[in-house]
Structures are given as structure tokens and as C-alpha cells.
Structure 1
Amino acid sequence: MARSKEFDVDTVLLKAMRLFWSQGYEKTSMKDLVETMGVHKRSMYDTFGDKHALFMQAMERYHETVGATVKARIQDAACPKQAIRAIFDMTIHAGDVRPEGCMIVNTACELSLLDPEAAAKVNNYFAKTEELLRELIEQGQAAGEISKKRDAAQLSQYLFNALTGLRVLVKTTKDKQKLENIIEMTLAVLN
């Protein structure tokens, strides 16, 4: 007779996600995971597989969680230009409620050259972000609030690159004014 789970899978996956996000893949030990998740090692393996499989699931959960937040911020924005600004603002104004930076960018820096599966997920998530920016730029150009003098695809590549850099920089500085200045200069390209 199969035993029922003595823990909520979503809750413990969220705990694992936060730990990986905070420490990275390599620095996070199985002992760290067991202690943080509050589950027995055997239960963790039975539910999630090995450490790598758990990490892949944690990355997916991160993408879903952040994606839902981004979607809500975009819907709350009055116009596409404000929606783009909201995406950038999220990067510098959420450190008090989550680890600094972006788990996907952290993974790109840590594992992309070593782990083809992680690299594929990172590239997929990056492509989705760049596509979202392109869609918002096109909407803003159609509405006349974003200049049409630059190609939307090239602008989205530029903005995505700047956003990725900002996601790294928030891990190294607490100077919010500096980060705000960077956002202002970056988004000036939309005028």
C-alpha cells in the first residue's frame, strides 16, 4: 500500500527554488536541500528525482512565478511603455521579498557552459522575455508612444541585454539611485 505524501509538494518545491536561487546549483548540497525543504532525503528523491531534476523543476517554478508577476504588472500598466518600465522596475524593487537578481541569469552564468539541459532552459526563457519586449515595443510603436525610428526586434534585443545586465548588477550594489539612473538611460532609447 502506497503511503501518502507527508508534505505539500508545491511548498517544498518553492523552498528548493528559493535555496537554489539564493545559493546557486553547485553550492547547494543535498543536506542543504533536505534541511530547507523539511523532507527526508528518500522522499525528496521519490518525489523530485535527483538534485539536477529538482533544480530543473525549481527553474520551471521560478519561471512560472516570475512570469505571473510580470503578466500582472503588464496588465496594470496604462500603456506599453509603462509596461516595459515595470519589467525593469521589478528587477530593482523586489530584493526585500526575494533573493537578489534573477535565478535564470544566475543559472546562465553558473551552468550554461557545463549543463546543456540548463542552457536550453535558460535560452528558452531568455527568448520568451525578448519576445515579450518586442511585442510591447510593437504595441507602443503602433500607439505612437514609442519611436518607430528603430526596428522593434533590434530594440527588444538591446532592452533584453540591458535588463540582463541590470539583473546581474542588483547583486553587487545597493545604490538604488544608480540603478534607477541606468533604467532611465536605457529606456531613453524608446523616445
Structure 2
Amino acid sequence: MDLFWRRGYAETSLQDLLQELSIGSGSFYAAFGSKEELYIRALERYTSLQGSDLLEILDNTAEIRPALRRMFASMIEADLAEPTRGCLVVNAATQCGDQTSAADRVTTAIKQVDSFLAGALEQAQARGELSPGKDPRQLARFLTTFVQGVRIVGRARMGREFVEDALDTAMRTLD
């Protein structure tokens, strides 16, 4: 996962994978089938880890706004620390659009984020944190899209002020 994340799918050769895993090509094919199959496994692992982190933030909160700020702040900090790395899902979306299995995994990951956010926003609305006139599903879709945008502008090295200004605006959609 880390090698694909650092280098990208196309820039990671079979030889790179063999060296990283310290195995021969026969063992590689027996264990993983192909480079693409290993890449899909790496995406699945990444989305599982990210999904767990997101759920932990959203489930262990009494208030939605601070939870969302923490979620976005962690992404912003990660992107500022390693801007060339970005988000593996965003990287896959922009680098592997012609690979059906990778595109399907990206779609699944984005739908997962949307579902987690929608659930948290629905709970927040039930607690009275969101006005009854707000549609939690629409807000979730906006925030899901915003998540992807944050990751892209982080990779583009737009800087903290740019992203935090955008975050302030996104948070106002909850008002």
C-alpha cells in the first residue's frame, strides 16, 4: 500500500513490488495474481483504515461541528506534512480511471464516506444541532465532495490559509 501511495500505480513497476515485498515473481503471482489485484487490495486496505478513522471521529462525538473540524484538520495536517503523497483514493481516481476495478473501488470508498457523513448528520439533526430545514443527505454529498477537493488542493500545495478559509465556508453550510 505504501509503495503505491508514494509512487502511484503506473510508476510502481513489478520489480519495485518484488523488491519492496522481498519475494520472487513466482511467489508474487501466486500470492497476489497481478499488479492490479495487489493495487486493489492496497486500496481496500487504505479505505478500511481511513473508514475506521472517520467512524471513530464521527461516532465518538457529542457535537457534529467539532467532529467535522477534527476530521478536516487531520486531512489538512497530513497534506501539509506530505503534500506529494495526498490521498490514495484521490490518487487512484485521477491516475487509474481506465481501470474498472480501481474505479469501482474509488466509487465504493466515496460512497462509504458519504454514508458515514449522512449518518452522523442525521444524528446531529435528531439532537437539534442542524435545523430541520437542512437535508443531511445533501449536506453529506457536499461535504464528501469537499473532502475530495481538500485532498486535491493539499496535493497542489495551496497552503494552510487557502484550505482553512475554504473549510470555514464549508462549515457555514451547517448553519
- Equivalent position to 1:152, from 136, 145, 168: 136
Give SS of 1:147's match.
coil
| 8 Å contact from structure 1 (residues 84, 136) kept in 2 | no
CA contact (8 A) 1:81 1:137 kept: no
Moved more, 140-149 or 98-107: 98-107
- The residue aligned with 2:20 is 36
Percent of aligned positions that are identical: 29
Aligned partner of 2:5 in structure 1 is 21
Corresponding residue for 1:134? 118
Equivalent residue number for residue 101 of structure 1: 86
The farther-off stretch of 70-79 and 20-29 is: 70-79
Correspondence for 1:91: 75
Could you tell me how far 1:103 is from its partner in structure 2?
Answer: 0.7
User: 8 Å contact 1:21–1:99 — kept in the other structure?
Assistant: no
Superposition CA RMSD, Å? 1.9
The offset of 1:170, in angstroms, is: 0.9
Residues 24 and 106 of structure 1 are in contact (CA less than 8 Å); yes or no, is this contact kept in structure 2? yes
2:50 aligns with one of 55, 60, 66: 66
- How far apart, CA to CA, are the structure 2 residues paired with 1:56 and 1:145? 38
Count of residue correspondences: 174
TM-score by length of 2: 0.89
The residue identity in structure 1 corresponding to 2:91 is N
Equivalence for 1:178 = 162
- Label 1:182 to 1:82 Cα distance change in 2 as closer, same or farther (>3 A): same
Segments of 5+ residues of structure 2 without an aligned counterpart are: none
In 1, Cα distance between equivalents of 2:53 and 2:25: 32
When residues 100 and 149 of structure 1 are mapped into structure 2, their CA distance, relative to the original with a 3 A threshold, is farther
Mind listing any 5+ residue stretches in structure 1 that lack a counterpart? Answer: 1-16
Looking at structure 2, the residues matched to 177 and 77 of structure 1 have their Cα atoms a distance apart, in angstroms, of 26
SS at match of 1:101: coil
